[in-house]
Amino acid sequence: MYFGAASGFRLERESEFGSPEQNATVDEVVSAVRREGDAALLRYTAVFDKVSLTPDRLRVTADEIAAAYDRVEDEFLAALRQAAANIKAFHEKQKRGSWMDVSADGTMLGMVIRPLRRVGLYVPGGKAAYPSSVLMNAIPAQVAGVPEIAMVTPPGTGGRQGIDPYILVAAAEAGVTEIYRVGGAQAVAALAFGTASIPAVDKICGPGNIYVALAKRAVFGAVDIDSIAGPSEIAVLADDSADPRFVAADMLSQAEHDEMASAVLVTPSEPLARAVVAELDRQVASLPRRDIAARSLAQYGAVLLVGSLAEGVDVINKLAPEHLEVMTEDPMALLGGIETAGAIFLGPYSSEPVGDYFAGPNHILPTNGTARFSSPLNVDDFLKKSSLIRYSKEALLRDSAGIATLARHEGLEGHARAVEIRWEGGETN
């Protein structure tokens, strides 16, 4: 862990662009699925997941989903439904409708806002299953009005063809309309280009491993994607009013995700800094995922000392963290200066897991410093917009000379004539 002045810290992690070998593998898989459809999809599932499937076993059945409900605890289902209600209520506030503006001369300008027709969600398997991410991906699409939400997730290993029942229940609760037992780059390619068993989508959302990330990058343009997700990040901006136990616990809540995760404390208080380091050592020892958390802290953890909270805000804006907690005496006083963070948690009781699971705002956030220019997943990500232009006769007469002037300046005589053909001597034909 780095401990010292903020000016000496640089967060440098492995490239998200993958190795040449990884890129070559993804290119091969994507191209094969695009050419061969189901045949390649099933072949790569057998190679990478060690599961042999037939086309009729790709889609999860309604009976399997119903059986999944019998395998989850009532307590889990109640918590999941409350979380889903909170997430839906928050995202409902993001909805907006089409609009038209008619001026006195009869000109009408506006925008038609429609949902995407079909969206694909990638839900990872592997080290852990995250029902909360199913909710965060699917509910904004549902609120936007997307009629078809297809989910792909890796099949069980060892030939079991099993999918985590908690994932299936979360998908059903969140309005997912189709679920397919396929993962990896091959699943991304199937969503992008379609196969006989999996119709193509308009957009792919959801995190995955490096092969999934590279496949999403490869198919972008044929379809839209949400983002290329990097390792989790948390930054805590704190003064000496903060409880070091809270700060350390919240840093560990992200460090336990992945060895590549980053947890950073920014503070003008050296006593707090040292107390947090001691708390990290104490708390990590009893954490079930302590090996992962310890490696994360050792490689990418940091305690940054700054001269003031104002300097701390500047550091935060340079880091552009995925999650930012502000644990200061008056966090609202600093909010106006914070320009780059995916999600901002204010005060000692707004622990980051509150946002991960329950509060309602989306936990799919920009990583790797991309909070400088991007936003949390939201309803707008599942909408498309068309501009409306209906010019009146009077407006065309008024504006045609200016339009023709600009067109000819750009060397586009056909543009100018397309306007001028509609009038002669100030009169329309």
pLDDT in tens, 337-362: 999 999 999 999 999 999 999 999 99
- List helix spans (H) across 285-376: 290-300, 309-319, 332-335, 352-357
Query: Residue 54 CA to chain centroid, in angstroms?
Result: 31
The whole-angstrom separation of Cα 429 and Cα 420 is 10
For residue 85, the surrounding DSSP H or E stretch is helix 74-92
How confident is residue 162, by pLDDT bands cut at 50, 70 and 90? confident
Catalytic residues: 322-323
Pairing of strands 383-390, 108-115: antiparallel
**3-class DSSP string for 68-81:** HHCCCCHHHHHHHH
- Residue 311 pLDDT grade (very low, low, confident, very high; cuts 50, 70, 90): very high
Q: Is the pLDDT confidence value at 128 over 80?
A: no
Candidates 283, 216, 196, 211; CA nearest to 247 is 283
Q: Taking residues 26-33, what's their average pLDDT?
A: 97
Q: Does the pLDDT value for residue 80 go beyond 80?
A: yes
Q: Is 213 exposed, middle or buried (0-12, 13-18, 19+ CB in 10 A)?
A: buried
Cα distance between residue 58 and residue 44, in whole Å: 13
pLDDT of 14: 62
Residue 6 has pLDDT above 50, yes or no: yes
- Quick one: tokens of 337? 């200066």
For residue 135, which amino acid is it?
L
**Which of 127-131, 276-280, 347-351 shows the lowest per-residue confidence on average (mean pLDDT)?**
127-131
Close Cβ partners of 190 (under 8 Å, ≥ 6 residues apart): 33, 37, 41, 152, 180, 182, 197, 198
Tokens of 93: 């506030």
Where b means 16+ CB within 10 Å and e means fewer, 244-262 reads bebbbbbbbbbbbbbbbbb
Question: Mean pLDDT in the chain?
Answer: 94
Identify the three-state secondary structure at position 184. helix
pLDDT band at 427 (very low <50, low <70, confident <90, very high): low
The token pair that represents 261 in the structure block = 């995760």
- Please check whether residue 165 is in contact with residue 68, taking contact to mean a CB–CB distance below 8 angstroms: yes
pLDDT for position 203: 98
d(CA 180, CA 161): 11
Average pLDDT on 11-40 reads 88
Predicted pLDDT at 429 = 47
Q: How confident is the model at residue 264 (pLDDT cuts 50, 70, 90)?
A: very high
Checking if the pLDDT of 426 tops 80, the result is no
Whether the predicted pLDDT of 87 surpasses 50: yes
CA-CA-CA-CA torsion sign (349, 350, 351, 357) = positive
The H helix count followed by the E strand count for the chain is 16, 16
Region 214-228: mean pLDDT is 95
Go through the domains of the chain in sequence order and give each one's CATH number. 20-225 (3.40.50.1980), 231-363 (3.40.50.1980), 393-428 (no CATH)
Predicted confidence band at 126 (pLDDT cuts at 50, 70, 90)? low
* Token pair belonging to 397: 């007469």
pLDDT at 156: 73
pLDDT at 7: 84
Q: Tell me which of 94-98, 115-119, 124-128, 183-187 is least confident.
A: 124-128
Q: What is the mean pLDDT of residues 24-29?
A: 96
DSSP string, 139-181: HHHHHHT-SEEEEEEPPPTTTT----HHHHHHHHHTT--EEEE
pLDDT tens string 386-399: 999 999 999 999 99
Tokens of 267: 């503070």
- pLDDT of 139 above 80: yes
